[in-house]
Chain A
Amino acid sequence: MTDRTSQRRRRIDGFALFWGAPSFLWQGVFFLAPLIVLVAMSFWVVRNFRLTPDFVFGNWERMLTRDYFWAGYGYTFQLALLVALLASLIAFPVAHYLAFRARPGIRRLAIFLLITPFFTSYLVRIYSWKIILSTEGVLNVMFGWLGLGPFGMIDNAFGAVVGYLTLCLPLVIIIQVFALSAVGRALIGAAHNLGAPPLRTTLTVTIPAARIGLILAATFAFILSFGDYVSPTYLGGGTPPTMSILVVDQTKSGNHWPRASVVAVTMVLTLVTVLFAALFAAYGRPGKKT
């Protein structure tokens, strides 16, 4: 009896296979294969500026023992974490308003406006920040009128974070709006009814009820900022270098693709770890006790 049911379960579903195959193929050819090449390449060597297949740990040893690598790693990780936190905090009041207070028309318009930034090139948006934030830029001129500044808002971590937020914030708001919209109105009514004022309700009911979406939004912000090259280069000034800048540096200085691969593989491993941690935080706490 049990044999039969287990056999039945193992039967191949042709329909799912047919429709699922293209995406598996795509993932295989354009994600898995390059990833394998990337990992393999991190063990290759460069001779006379030529990439030569080999199996040495020299690249790993070289990168992982350098202070600038770990400084860059720490800096990138901290920035991405800060952006995930900042984006979540800045987005929440907006998303809360759009999900619970705004009229449907306003909400639709807001969602539309939040999508439009993705129409324009990210690079263009970052360049426009340069005009606003640079030492002779719009903001500093205005601060000058007040007898303040000029403030260094570019070529430092502040500039990089502004750039990262430009990239992530619309997406984080959109995900949060959908996460909060899915929270049942009755739950919020029940919290009020049982004596919880609005702020307490938000903290003890709305946020826990929307937890999965909120964590997902923050994770997106982390992943996007951790790997971004444009913001740290054009607004962050490139010092200290982030991981993405390190990758480019290695390929430019001495065509060292294997060392760049080491950085890239480290990034992939970090993102996979962060993603799993986030998914565990979002879904995997059954029957948690207080």
Chain B
Amino acid sequence: MTTILTLDKVEKRFGDTVALEPTSLGLEKGEFLALMGPSGCGKSTTLRMIAGLEAASGGTIRHWDRDITDLPPWERDMPMVWQSYALFPFLTVRENVEFGLKQKRRATAVDRRKKSGEWLERLGISDLADRKTDQLSGGQRQRVALARALVLEPEILLLDEPLSALDAHLRLRMQSELKRLHGDLGITFLYVTHSQSEAFAMADRVAILNAGRLQQLGPAREVHAAPANRFVAEFVGGSTILTGTARGEGRIETPMGLLTALAGYPAAPGETVSFLVPSNRVGLSEAATGAPNEVAARLLTEEFTGSFVTVYLELADGTEMKVQLQQSDLDALSLAPGTPLYASWPAEAGYVLKEV
């Protein structure tokens, strides 16, 4: 793997507020990297700095070996797909797609027409070529925005929450289409989103930002399985976070009793630690079975989502625990709110976080 884009201690301040702490990360050639985090975490600012639409307050941005930190946006080759699409309303679909080619003067009018035609075809919007953009649906606009950026044949495509304005059904379809497009083109995608499901569905690697700080960068599976800290674990979801005092050999004393968590960070005895209980590893029973990691709980509510059921429990210390089960696992249980239940999970499923 070769690094196509490098952020070296790049930071952004607006007056006294810090939008991005000095952050370093490398974008590998051909990868699909998702930059995610809650709103205001600095992800869009980072993307805008890479596009040159926002000036970095410090650090350097390199495209291959070239320092592009101070290069104006119109001299960078990093077309962006905008959340609002930012299509030019006074131009037709075809004119929108040809806009970038016209600016860069790379192609003659005939070539432009041919290239824009190819991309309109590829994205299935040839029929709309002579329409004004205000006559298009959200999904069609999205395609025009993609064609407008991709027609420039960039090495890196920047995407700023491109799917957030679409309805859920269309979003899923565009997700798989983007993923396929990325595979076909072999170019690098840098994708900003606040949705972890979008990021995990498409990205090779994810970078999670919070409050202007990079929390974790790694393959989607790894971030999911081994979150670096409590923020990442909560953001990624899918687990219950419990807190207690380490007693050595993975044992942790909690208000629910002495529990064991063998995976993750080995905590020294006496240390306060947080550990995760993955919601798909928890079993439920109506009576205590004497299993090692067993806690008493009270049923709060259940949520049927098709292939599986999500059950929410309240533990002795008030923590809400999320449990994911197959419908068949639940048949044996009577699930009325308030029902006392016992939840247990294997000791090796418990994952201790490095930071509380």
Interface 1/0 per residue, B49-74 and A, CB below 8 Å: 00111000000000000000000111
A286, B84: Cα distance in complex, Å: 23
Task: Give the number of A-B contacts (CB < 8 Å).
Answer: 69
Q: Which residues of A contact B152 (CB under 8 A)?
A: 194-195
Residue contact B104 to A186, C-beta cutoff 8 Å: no
Given contacts A208-B90, A287-B92, contact A186 B82 (CB under 8 A): yes
Q: Which residues of A contact B91 (CB under 8 A)?
A: 208
Q: Which residues of B contact A190 (CB under 8 A)?
A: 80, 82, 86-88
Q: Which residues 102-145 in B have Cβ within 8 Å of A in the complex?
A: 103-104, 130-132
Residue contact B78 to A193, C-beta cutoff 8 Å: yes
Which one, B53, B84, B95, B104, contacts A195 given CB within 8 A?
B104
A173 to chain B, nearest CB (A): 23
Interface 1/0 per residue, A174-216 and B, CB below 8 Å: 0000000000101101111111110010001100110100000
Q: Which residues of A contact B86 (CB under 8 A)?
A: 184, 186-187, 189-190
Given contacts A190-B80, A192-B72, A192-B74, contact A286 B132 (CB under 8 A): yes
B141 to chain A, nearest CB (A): 13
Which one, A184, A193, A211, contacts B73 given CB within 8 A?
A193
Residue contact A195 to B74, C-beta cutoff 8 Å: yes
Interface size on A, residues (CB 8 A): 22
Interface 1/0 per residue, B341-356 and A, CB below 8 Å: 0000000000000000
Query: Would you call A290 an interface residue if the criterion is a C-beta within 8 Å of the partner chain's C-beta atoms?
Result: yes
Query: Would you call B79 an interface residue if the criterion is a C-beta within 8 Å of the partner chain's C-beta atoms?
Result: yes
Residue contact B74 to A197, C-beta cutoff 8 Å: yes
Residue contact B132 to A287, C-beta cutoff 8 Å: yes
Nearest CB in chain B to that of A196: its residue? B103
A185 to chain B, nearest CB (A): 9
Interface core residue of A186, A187, A195, A211 (most chain B CB under 10 Å): A195
Q: Which residues of B contact A195 (CB under 8 A)?
A: 74-75, 100, 103-104, 152
Given contacts A193-B53, A193-B73, A194-B100, contact A209 B89 (CB under 8 A): yes
Residue contact A187 to B88, C-beta cutoff 8 Å: yes
Query: Would you call B148 an interface residue if the criterion is a C-beta within 8 Å of the partner chain's C-beta atoms?
Result: yes
A204, B74: Cα distance in complex, Å: 14
A270 to chain B, nearest CB (A): 29
Interface 1/0 per residue, A130-156 and B, CB below 8 Å: 000000000000000000000000000
Residue contact B95 to A290, C-beta cutoff 8 Å: yes
A189, B132: Cα distance in complex, Å: 20
A221, B344: Cα distance in complex, Å: 79
Nearest CB in chain A to that of B158: its residue? A193
A189, B91: Cα distance in complex, Å: 16
Nearest CB in chain B to that of A190: its residue? B86
Given contacts A184-B84, A187-B86, contact A193 B51 (CB under 8 A): yes
Query: Would you call B99 an interface residue if the criterion is a C-beta within 8 Å of the partner chain's C-beta atoms?
Result: yes
Which one, B88, B130, B132, contacts A205 given CB within 8 A?
B88
A196, B53: Cα distance in complex, Å: 12
A115, B52: Cα distance in complex, Å: 37
Given contacts A186-B84, A190-B86, A195-B74, contact A287 B130 (CB under 8 A): yes
Residue contact B84 to A194, C-beta cutoff 8 Å: no
A7, B336: Cα distance in complex, Å: 56
A287, B92: Cα distance in complex, Å: 7
Residue contact A209 to B88, C-beta cutoff 8 Å: yes
Nearest CB in chain B to that of A290: its residue? B95
**Top-4 shortest CB links A-B:** A195-B103, A194-B100, A190-B86, A186-B86
Residue contact A209 to B103, C-beta cutoff 8 Å: no
Q: Which residues of B contact A194 (CB under 8 A)?
A: 74, 79, 99-100, 103, 148-149, 152
Nearest CB in chain A to that of B48: its residue? A189
A61, B92: Cα distance in complex, Å: 50
A192, B103: Cα distance in complex, Å: 10
Nearest CB in chain A to that of B53: its residue? A189
Q: Which residues of A contact B51 (CB under 8 A)?
A: 193
A289, B89: Cα distance in complex, Å: 14
Q: Which residues 241-287 in A have Cβ within 8 Å of B in the complex?
A: 286-287
Interface core residue of B79, B88, B89, B130 (most chain A CB under 10 Å): B88
Q: Which residues of A contact B79 (CB under 8 A)?
A: 193-194
A206, B132: Cα distance in complex, Å: 17
- Starting from the known contacts A190-B82, A193-B74, A193-B78, 8 additional A-B residue pairs (CB-CB under 8 Å) come to A184-B86, A187-B86, A190-B88, A191-B103, A192-B53, A194-B100, A200-B103, A211-B90
Interface 1/0 per residue, A92-111 and B, CB below 8 Å: 00000000000000000000
Interface 1/0 per residue, B26-39 and A, CB below 8 Å: 00000000000000
B340 to chain A, nearest CB (A): 55
Residue contact B53 to A197, C-beta cutoff 8 Å: no
